[in-house]
Amino acid sequence: MSKAPVNVMWFENLSRGDVALVGGKNSSLGEMVQQLGKKGIKVPSGFATTADAYRAYLSANDLDARIDDVIGRWQDNKITLHEAGSQVRAMILAGDWPQDIEADILESYRELSRRAGAKDLPVAVRSSATAEDLPDASFAGQQETYLNVRGEAAVLASCRRCFASLFTDRAITYRQMKGFGHTRWRCRSGCSGWSAPTPAARASCSRSTPKADLTRSP
Q: Is position 143 within any domain? A: yes
Residue type, 155: V
Q: What are phi and psi of 194, to 5 degrees?
A: -120, 130
Q: Is position 117 within any domain? A: yes
Tell me the pTM. 0.79
Q: Is position 126 within any domain? A: yes
Q: Is position 1 within any domain? A: no
Q: Is position 3 within any domain? A: no
* CATH number, residue 169: 3.30.1490.20
Q: Is position 2 within any domain? A: no
Contact 180, 142 (CB under 8 A): no
**Mind listing the pLDDT tens digit for each residue in 117-164?**
999 999 999 887 665 555 454 555 667 889 999 999 999 999 999 999
The tally of domains found in the chain comes to: 1
Sequence-ordered alpha helix ranges (H) in the chain? 19-37, 51-60, 64-75, 81-93, 99-116, 152-164, 169-178, 199-208
Q: Is position 184 within any domain? A: yes
Q: What per-residue confidence (pLDDT) applies to 141?
A: 60
Does pLDDT of 185 surpass 60?
no
Q: What per-residue confidence (pLDDT) applies to 207?
A: 30
**Mind listing the pLDDT tens digit for each residue in 81-123?**
999 999 999 999 999 999 999 999 999 999 999 999 999 999 9
Does pLDDT of 29 surpass 90?
no
Domain coverage including residue 49: 8-208
Q: Is position 217 within any domain? A: no
Q: What per-residue confidence (pLDDT) applies to 23?
A: 76
**Mind listing the pLDDT tens digit for each residue in 31-60?**
888 888 788 888 888 999 998 899 999 999
